Amino acid sequence: MPQTLLDHISPFLNYLTFQKRYSKHTIVSYESDLKACFEYIQSQFEENNLKEIKPAYIRSWLAQLKSVDNSSRSINRKISSLKSFFKYQVKNGQLDMSPMATIVSPKVSKRLPQFVEKKDMDTLFEHVEFADDWEGATQRLVLKILYNTGIRQAELISLKETQIDRVNSAIKVLGKGSKERIIPVSKELMHDLQQYIALKTATHAAADRTHLLVRTNGLKLYPKYVYNLVKKYLSLVTTIEKKSPHILRHTFATHLTNNGADLNAVKELLGHSSLAATQVYTHNTIEKLKDVYRKAHPKA
């Protein structure tokens, strides 16, 4: 029985999972993009042969996405998924050439990452009251870890007690692609981490002993829980539009660069594979310098 277009997706996803070690979230996105494209080609052009896919078919699908108001950023992500898929097929000898070779990605206007002002973060930790119970202690520590380390939400949730390095006052983080990085932390945060672990040992005998952060029921955190608590507390101190765990990652990076941190060091702390991904934070620094110049220079 001849293979259909959809039959080619599974081996590619296995490659991304086991060789490239992409995250589950990324795998789901790739699968969704590829299925949507191939189902469109099958229905509109009645084509089910991988070798017969033409650039015109891809362009037709992209035009359809644009017509229903998909953003350029969203379309670019789908183009990236398709480019990776067809590159894999060429590499494995299934195709001689990728139909994506002549596909041009739409331009995307650069958006500066939002971040929380330092004074607002100071207000959060110095003046906002947290509940005097286990949940309050957990929520405060979640916020402190996110802001003080810049780790991703998934990295926070999977953080284990064994990743806390008390001797060197650092935490070991397992990031994307299972790459480990070391993030130094302040003595204050290390003290909070040790207190939390000690309190968990003393009062939560049945709690998850593997994961660092647990809820009142002793089970590890989950994404919606972390998102909701971050949104709740940031809403008390800032009026920025986005209030998510990733905003605290942006805040961490922006505050570092605003205070003169070396960009390569920030790259390593964030776990970026490319310096280009980190350079966006220099724009925030430049904007701050412009603001200072406008306010202070007599000829501004």
Query: Does residue 127 have an active-site annotation?
Result: no
What 8-state DSSP symbol labels residue 163? G
User: In Å, what is the CA distance from 80 to each residue of 6, 44, 250?
Assistant: 18, 22, 24
The SS3 assignment for 276 reads helix
Joined together, the tokens standing for residue 201 give: 């040992």
11-19: Cβ within 8 A, 24+ apart: 12/85, 12/88, 12/89, 15/88, 16/84
Which residue is catalytic, options 57, 88, 147, 281? 281
| 11: enclosing H helix or E strand | helix 9-18
Query: Does residue 272 have an active-site annotation?
Result: yes
The answer to whether residues 215 and 225 touch, using CB atoms and an 8 Å cutoff, is yes
Which residue is catalytic, options 78, 152, 243, 255? 152
Joined together, the tokens standing for residue 236 give: 């008390």
How many other C-beta atoms can be found within 10 angstroms of the C-beta atom of residue 203? 9
Which residue is catalytic, options 172, 181, 272, 283? 272
The answer to whether residues 245 and 114 touch, using CB atoms and an 8 Å cutoff, is no
Query: Does residue 250 have an active-site annotation?
Result: no
Query: Does residue 249 have an active-site annotation?
Result: yes
The answer to whether residues 47 and 53 touch, using CB atoms and an 8 Å cutoff, is yes
Chain mean position to CA 217: 27
Query: Does residue 176 have an active-site annotation?
Result: yes
- Reported residue count of the chain is 300
Which residue is catalytic, options 59, 66, 160, 176? 176
Pairing of strands 170-174, 164-165: antiparallel
Task: Burial-class residue 89 by CB neighbours within 10 Å (0-12, 13-18, 19+).
Answer: buried
Ranges assigned E (strand) in 78-235 = 164-165, 170-174, 180-184
Chain mean position to CA 165: 24
Which residue is catalytic, options 8, 200, 243, 249? 249
**Which residues are catalytic, by number?**
152, 176, 246, 249, 272, 281
